[in-house]
């Protein structure tokens, strides 16, 4: 079953049978869906250790993600998460992260000026990918992918990464025959070539770092943190382990924020009233003398943050989560789950559930401003950043990155979506939730 079909199938199960339901896929066994906050909190927090990433899923993701943070359980996951958390300290935000966001935003604004002058039609989602890859490369590895300064040149790393993600996701929806298919098909050959390129790329970064003692002394670089880290026995990470960490961090730092920016801009173009309110807020806080928000200013953009969260509610970066139950268990409502069965929930479906969200299908940022939870919604209701011990480390990172670029852009420019595109856009087969087709727009200067 294709991921698009699985995502929408999960929504149909929710609508037809309610938040707690069971179904069986031939060869995969019994699934228990838990699309309600109480059950999600139980699985992802209360009895967290009893639910792990499935071994089958881990094998299918191994070529791309290896033993990185998104593909491991237990101590290895805890070790990587603890180290990665150092990137997101407040001091790092102020001195490194927001400085890079500002630099890359200036480049993006310059590109918009050129496109406004030319009147050309372009793919806005592709530009967001370039923005986030440049930003994340500089922040975590001190590496400039040069995406925004060479728009005419395809970014091979990004192309190979996207190809590998797409094929990896097909494995998940074809769990029994993917090995055989890839052994004899052109798609399998492309997957092997893509993974080889990505691996060699990561190894080249590591080799360069190992050969540059001065560079390796920078304590604020996330790659250095991992290169200098030691296991309890005093052994440091080898190149293969570092390769896995690099590729896992890039999928987190590049893909999800770029996709959410694209979905956010689409929703603003479809909801001019929301756009008007957001631009009014931006104009009240930014000016010609202060065109890009500083770290201390970001929290003032409450309506912009609510708009970003509303985008995530309807277009979560990871639409489906699946866990394996280790020991017989019982949900808070009494539903039994037996060892070896699969538990799943869909953030995409939950975001459209009228039992959880009032007028769920309407794009309405005010729901976050006017609710009791405000801009700190329950992570078991608003699961777009995952939840419990696996709550996304980069939540603030992604929010600040998106808001920095969006506020700076929308103060000056207005986007016009080409009318011959499907609305709403389809999402593509991927580990995350990109738009299937380019987001084709023209950009105009505001009056």
Binding positions for heme: 392
Sequence ranges of the binding site = 392
Residue 285, classified by CB atoms within 10 Å of its CB into exposed (0-12), middle (13-18) or buried (19+), is: middle
β-bridge partners, 319: none
- Per DSSP, 393 falls in state T
* Coil, strand or helix at 20: strand
Closest listed residue to residue 100, CA positions, set 155, 68, 145, 69 = 145
Distance CA 222, CA 269 (A): 36
For the beta sheet containing 413-417, the strands, ordered from the edge strand earlier in sequence to the opposite edge, are 122-123, 440-445, 413-417
Closest listed residue to residue 241, CA positions, set 208, 203, 210 = 203
Helix, strand, coil percentages in the chain from 3-state DSSP, rounded to 5: 60, 10, 30
Kind of pairing, strands 320-325 and 122-123?
unpaired
Residue 234, classified by CB atoms within 10 Å of its CB into exposed (0-12), middle (13-18) or buried (19+), is: exposed
Confirm if 437 and 410 have CB atoms less than 8 A apart: no
Q: What angle do CA 148, 153, 159 make, to 5 degrees?
A: 90
* Coil, strand or helix at 387: coil
Distance CA 19, CA 38 (A): 10
* Residue located via tokens 């207005």: 414
Closest listed residue to residue 147, CA positions, set 168, 132, 162 = 132
* Coil, strand or helix at 155: coil
Confirm if 386 and 77 have CB atoms less than 8 A apart: no
Structure token digits, residue 151: 């728009």
Closest listed residue to residue 68, CA positions, set 260, 181, 226, 221 = 226
Distance CA 285, CA 375 (A): 19
């Amino acid at each position: 079953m294709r991921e698009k079909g699985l995502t929408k199938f999960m929504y149909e199960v929710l609508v037809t049978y309610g938040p707690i339901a069971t179904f069986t896929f031939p060869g995969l066994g019994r699934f228990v869906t838990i699309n309600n906050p109480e059950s999600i909190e139980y699985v992802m927090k209360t009895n967290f250790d009893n639910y792990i990433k499935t071994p089958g899923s881990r094998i299918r993701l191994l070529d791309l993600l290896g033993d990185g943070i998104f593909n491991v359980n237990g101590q290895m996951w805890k070790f990587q998460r603890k180290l990665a958390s150092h990137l997101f300290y407040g001091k790092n935000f102020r001195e490194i992260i927001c400085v890079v966001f500002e630099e890359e935003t200036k480049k993006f604004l310059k590109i918009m000026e050129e496109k406004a002058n030319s009147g050309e039609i372009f793919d806005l989602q592709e530009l967001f990918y370039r923005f986030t890859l440049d930003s994340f490369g500089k922040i975590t590895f001190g590496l400039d992918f040069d995406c925004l300064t060479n728009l005419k040149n395809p970014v091979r790393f990004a192309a190979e990464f996207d190809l590998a993600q797409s094929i990896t996701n097909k494995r998940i929806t074809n769990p029994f025959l993917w090995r055989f298919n890839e052994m004899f098909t052109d798609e399998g050959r492309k997957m092997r070539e893509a993974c080889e390129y990505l691996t060699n790329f990561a190894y080249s970064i590591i080799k360069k770092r190992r050969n540059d003692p001065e560079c390796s002394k920078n304590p604020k670089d996330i790659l250095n943190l991992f290169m200098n880290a030691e296991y309890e026995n005093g052994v440091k990470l080898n190149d293969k382990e570092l390769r896995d960490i690099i590729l896992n961090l890039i999928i987190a730092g590049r893909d999800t924020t770029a996709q959410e920016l694209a979905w956010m801009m689409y929703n603003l173009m479809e909801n001019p009233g929301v756009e008007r309110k957001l631009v009014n807020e931006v104009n009240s806080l930014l000016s010609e003398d202060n065109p890009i928000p500083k770290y201390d200013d970001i929290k003032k953009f409450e309506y912009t943050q609510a708009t970003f969260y509303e985008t995530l509610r309807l277009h979560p970066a990871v639409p489906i989560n699946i866990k394996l139950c280790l020991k017989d268990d019982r949900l808070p409502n009494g539903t039994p789950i037996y060892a070896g069965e699969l538990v799943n929930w869909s953030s995409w479906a939950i975001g459209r559930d009228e039992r959880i969200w009032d007028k769920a299908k309407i794009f309405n940022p005010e729901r976050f401003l006017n609710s009791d939870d405000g801009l700190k919604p329950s992570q078991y209701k608003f699961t777009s950043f995952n939840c419990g011990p696996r709550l996304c480390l980069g939540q603030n990172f992604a929010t600040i990155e998106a808001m920095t670029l969006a506020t700076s852009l929308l103060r000056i420019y207005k986007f016009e979506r080409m009318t011959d595109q499907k609305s709403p856009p389809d999402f593509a087969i991927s580990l995350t939730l990109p738009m299937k087709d380019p987001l084709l727009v023209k950009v105009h200067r505001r009056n």
